[in-house]
Chain A
Amino acid sequence: MTSPLVCVFDYGFGNVRSATRALEHVGARVVLTSDRTVAENAEGLVVPGVGAFEAVMTGLKEARGDQIVGRRLSGGRPVLGICVGMQVMFERGVEHGVESEGLDQWPGTVERLQTSVVPNMGWATVETPEHTALFRGIEDERFYFVHSYGARTFPLGTTEDTGRFAAPLVTWSTAGGDADADRFVAAVENGPLTATQFHPEKSGEAGLQLLRNWVATL
């Protein structure tokens, strides 16, 4: 069996070098490109992202990343969004009072974290859901976060898992301490669409295991 081909979408936003090396490290074949055909057809697509929501969305659209993600997901082909690459999967983002449209794969708003020290920077624990595949074996590990904005609610999939359609599996994390804790979405597993607010490619062994878990599904 050949290892799966993963396209790291190269549209100018994100530490693509680390993501590429980490995926190679866990056994994927990796292509770093914004070529539409490759991005649409690879077994996995990684959408990295750092910086401002609006700038990332503009960059994605210029590279037709919105269409590529849409086509992949409608065909059930796996996509992994990382950091702002996760945030843009939501309906909208609000930064500095400016509202921008996201890719709208999930309802909800990405907004500024409500805690005293922002950016939320460092290694935090996560609250994983039952039946998580992404966090299998690393449920109690810490992951590296660096972000000032987050999805503080997840309005989709509150109904029971019917067996035909699995409800999204949402992993939460918390910024701030006891006095000013703010809970936000740390990861989502939703059919072909997976995303993490933290950086698995910067989360040491635990992060590599998470990528290994994702690559194993391709």
Chain B
Amino acid sequence: MGVAVRLIPCLDVDAGRVVKGVNFENLRDAGDPVELAATYGAAGADEVTFLDVTASVDGRDTTYDVVGRTADTVFVPLTVGGGVRAPEDVDRLLRAGADKVGVNTAAIERPELISEIAHRFGSQVLVLSVDARRCGPDTVTDSGYEVTTHGGKKGTGIDAVEWARRGAELGAGEILLNSMDADGTTDGFDLEMIRAVRAVVDVPLIASGGAGTVQHFVEAAQAGADAVLAASVFHFGTLTIQEVKDAMREAGIEVR
């Protein structure tokens, strides 16, 4: 018996409010990330992730407050990603109460950032978020996948599988692999991409993008994901955490 495959609901937070609607009954305020994190924690979420999509500096201060209030009441791990550009940002989020911090664009621009964070805070705090898509006609990479920025709109020409491998080598403690092709489709995860990254990284791998049915989660775990992250299927009540876990357990996958 080893560790269980984790289920991670992800909330987009802008200036202290959840954006990209959440449709739950029995919530006083469906826009309050603290309340939502607590709801997910009570429902059996193994971790909670906040993606901070705030653009303004003032808004970011609100994020720290939200992180702090969440850590005060929700006793499962909390990851916060978005806008992390320097070790100081990591320091602030950890002090506020985050357990792990997601890094994305800034690491593409300056890969040394990964080592700097890992050295100072340990690999276990650093989740390298890789937004990847299949290469279009104008791009060629060895794996056939490229890293994107700006929410999948801009290609970088960087091989996504190689980038994940290098990120782990530089000190990332986890890889969050988000398929920009599958994201929002509810047609299932990009299993081929999960397998390709699994084959080259030996840190935990979180699969993201495309979840629509319980079977999709099972497939992602079977393809080698150590954790599965999803947003809308949980937010809109299409699936509950418990339903997904039951299906995984039935398929012989260890869950909590």
- List the interface of chain A (C-beta within 8 A of B): 15, 17-18, 21-22, 25, 50-52, 115-125, 142, 144-148, 174-177, 181, 199, 201-205, 207-208
Contact = CB atoms under 8 A, between A and B. Distances in A.
B123 A119 contact: yes
A208 B75 contact: yes
Nearest to A50: B122
Given A21-B72, A144-B77, 18 more contacts: A18-B99, A117-B202, A119-B123, A121-B226, A122-B4, A122-B5, A122-B204, A123-B4, A124-B1, A124-B3, A142-B256, A146-B99, A174-B1, A199-B77, A202-B75, A203-B76, A204-B76, A205-B75
Interface in B1-21: 1-6
A-side binding surface: helix, strand, loop or mixed? mixed
Given A118-B202, A122-B204, A176-B2, A15 B76 contact: no
A117 B97 contact: no
B165 to A, nearest CB: 14
Contacts of A115: 2
Contacts of B76: 144, 202-204
B71 A124 contact: no
Interface in B85-106: 94-97, 99
B46 interface: yes
Residue among B5, B77, B94, B203 having the largest count of chain A Cβ atoms under 10 Å: B77
B81 interface: no
Contacts of B204: 117, 119, 121-122
Contacts of B256: 123, 142
Sorted nearest first, the 3 A-B pairs with minimum C-beta distance are A122-B3, A51-B122, A123-B256
Contacts of B41: 204
A56 B94 CA distance: 16
B46 A121 contact: no
B23 interface: no
Interface string B118-129: 000111110000
Contacts of A146: 77, 99, 124, 173
Interface of B: 1-6, 41, 46, 68, 71-73, 75-77, 94-97, 99, 121-125, 173-174, 202-204, 226-227, 256
A64 B242 CA distance: 46
B75 A120 contact: no
A115 B203 CA distance: 11
Contacts of B203: 117-119
A123 B46 contact: yes
Nearest to B41: A204
Nearest to A144: B77
Contacts of A122: 3-6, 46, 204, 226-227
Contact of A52 (B73, B77, B122, B202): B122
A197 to B, nearest CB: 12
25 contacts: A15-B94, A17-B97, A50-B122, A51-B121, A51-B122, A116-B202, A117-B203, A118-B203, A119-B124, A119-B203, A120-B3, A121-B173, A121-B174, A122-B3, A123-B4, A123-B46, A125-B1, A144-B76, A145-B3, A146-B77, A199-B77, A202-B75, A202-B77, A204-B75, A204-B76
A122 B3 CA distance: 6
A124 B123 CA distance: 20
Contact of B75 (A51, A142, A176, A203): A203
A117 B226 contact: yes
Contacts of A208: 75
A21 B71 contact: yes
Contacts of B96: 17
A110 B124 CA distance: 17
B241 to A, nearest CB: 13
B97 A15 contact: yes
Contacts of B6: 122-123
A15 B97 CA distance: 7
A175 B3 contact: yes
Nearest to A25: B75
A207 B41 CA distance: 13
Contacts of A52: 122
B95 to A, nearest CB: 8
Contacts of B173: 119, 121, 146
A122 B69 CA distance: 23
Given A17-B71, A116-B202, A181 B2 contact: yes
